[in-house]
Amino acid sequence: MANAKASQARKSSGPPKGMKTLEGGFAKTWNVDELPELTGTVKNVPKLVKLNAGTKKETDRQCVEVLASDGERYTLWESAALVTLFERLSEEKELPMKIWVAFKGYGTAKKGQNAPKLFDVAIG
C-alpha cells in the first residue's frame, strides 16, 4: 500500500498569500483517460524536451501548453497522430490558436511496441 500512496499526486492549495505563480513551467500532462477531449488555446510555439537523457532511450519530443476552456493548464505531448498539429503550431504567425483534440482509442500495436493513441484534431 505504501507504493499506492507514494504514487498519488499531492494536491496544492496554491501559493501563499501575496505570492504569484510563475508561468512557463510544465503544466500537468493531459490524461486521455480522465479527460477524453481537450479544448483550449495554445499561445506559444512547441518546446523541444530531451527525454531519458544519457540513456539508450534518449529522444527529443515536443510539447505545448494548452489553456483549457475550464481554466486548467495542460501539457500536450507530440505523438505520431499529432504531428500535423505540432507542425501548424510551430508557425508562430498563427498563434494563439484554439485547438480541440479528442482521444479516439488505440490503434494496432507493432511487435514490441505500445499501441498508438488515435486522435481527432480541429483548429480554429
What confidence score (pLDDT) does residue 51 get? Answer: 84
* HEC profile of 14-25: CCCCCCCCCCCC
Per DSSP, what are the bridge partners of residue 101? 38, 121
What confidence score (pLDDT) does residue 7 get? Answer: 42
The yes-or-no verdict on residue 9 having pLDDT over 70 is no
pTM of the predicted model as reported, rounded to 2 decimal places: 0.74
The yes-or-no verdict on residue 1 having pLDDT over 50 is no
Task: Tell me whether residue 79 is exposed, middle or buried, using C-beta atoms within 10 angstroms of its C-beta: 0 to 12, 13 to 18, 19 or more.
Answer: middle
What digits encode the pLDDT tens for the residues 15-66? 788 876 665 567 899 999 999 999 999 998 999 988 888 888 888 999 999 9
Find out if CATH 2.40.50 is the number for domain 26-123: yes
Rg (CA), the chain: 16
Where are the chain's structural domains? 26-123
